[in-house]
Amino acid sequence: MVRTHTLHAPLLLLLCSVAASHQSLALNVRSYPSSTTDSKTPVALSLARNVNATGSRNVLKLDQARAQAFRARARGPNQIPSNAAAFNDEATGRVVTYTVNVAVGNPPTSYNLLIDTGSSNTWVGAASLDLFHPSCQPTKDIVAVSYGSGSFIGLEKLCEVTLAEGLTIPEQSVGVAAISKGFNGVDGILGIGPVDLTQGTLVLESEKEVPTVTDYAQKLGLLTEYIVGISFEPLNQDNETNGELTFGGVNHSKYNGTLNYAPLTKVSPASKYVGIDQKITYGEGQPVMPSGSGILDTGTTLILLATDAFDKYKNYTGAQLDNDTGLLRITPEQYANLKSLQFTIGGVSYELTQNAQIWPRTLNAAMGGDPEGIYLIVNDLGQISGSGLDFIDGMGFLERFYMVYDVGNSRAGLATTPFTYATTN
């Protein structure tokens, strides 16, 4: 097992010394100051899609490493297998990432942060060392998080955080990195997953949770509703602003028809995350996954299925494994015959169309593929079903549906969008 804070023992001693020097000034990370924001209207943040033209041949390996980290983290903080930690290129290795600009401090410094529903700590400093940010107040603690394909260790601070005009959170707990691996090109992470995931990330107070930005804004009365709405779109051009994150409500213009909710799963380890129960069929009801528990995750690129379900899908499609990319590849004739996948969640069926199942062909070269090839975004999770983590519905799924994480009611919402049936891939 690799623990972030044992990987950097000399740094840990230094950080302990720094934290101790600030201890008399430290504030409890659970203190709740008065709100400085009057409006409780839902606040929307624009998300930028960043396309890495040089890409990576490790798209599948990065996703599988993240899946391993999910399983390990459910057993305890920072319990990341060594083979997962080998892929230290979370941001630089991914072909497509979604980021948001967040202002930290007063006067503010703008940071470009990855959006992550699969983790809950918010931290900055991957691009520059700023341990002594003058406008942030020290706490007595050190924070360390491993992600499977990246990690960071630093000091926990209390900072004013502005997510967007109309939503400023005073004294939000934020990690300030001293060392990070795997986050070149971004400044850190905006973690919006369940707060339980933060337990154990504070090195000196491992039983304490760190309030997420969503939780803390709710505690301060800044949100109309205790929810986060998430909108993505399939690729149509490079480096565009085409997503949206809404705190305190949903953007009804981003989806069609009814927004349907399903309770979060109670099956572990999926229950530790934004987890749901679902079944999957192919074409005219051919079973892929009769039932299973898994995760909706903005940090996973592909749709990963338990090995037995993946094998069924592979057989139905006639696809062959492509050694260059690790993805399934089909011929133009097989694509013409490719049937929709039906994801049944909370009794409602969501159709992943023929076009939605393939990798964007404009990005084939970026992930080491044949520019003229047709690759599938459904792949192997690396473990058979029944483990409690049977699937991860990553960005290949979420770019076709509007998602809501209803924290207060422990449920997830999904709806079709104008892009559910798009043919942009």
Q: Which residues have a catalytic role annotated?
A: 116, 297
- Tell me which residue has tokens 């690729």: 235
Distance of alpha carbon 213 from alpha carbon 193, whole angstroms: 10
Contact 352, 414 (CB under 8 A): no
Beta bridge partners of 98: 49
Which residues neighbour 175 within 8 Å (Cβ) at sequence distance 6 or greater?
121, 122, 123, 124, 125, 143, 145, 152, 154, 155, 156, 157, 188
- Tell me which residue has tokens 């983590």: 389
Helix (H, G, I), strand (E, B) or coil at 197: helix
Beta-strand ranges (E) seen in 36-128 are 43-51, 96-104, 109-116, 123-124
Which residues neighbour 52 within 8 Å (Cβ) at sequence distance 6 or greater?
92, 94, 95, 96, 97, 185, 366
Helix (H, G, I), strand (E, B) or coil at 288: strand
Sign of the C-alpha dihedral, residues 29, 33, 37, 39?
positive
Which residues neighbour 242 within 8 Å (Cβ) at sequence distance 6 or greater?
47, 49, 232, 233, 236
Q: Note the maximum CA span of the chain.
A: 70
Instruction: State in Å, rounded, how far the first CA of the chain is from the last one.
Output: 39
Helix (H, G, I), strand (E, B) or coil at 279: strand
Distance of alpha carbon 43 from alpha carbon 247, whole angstroms: 5
Contact 346, 262 (CB under 8 A): yes
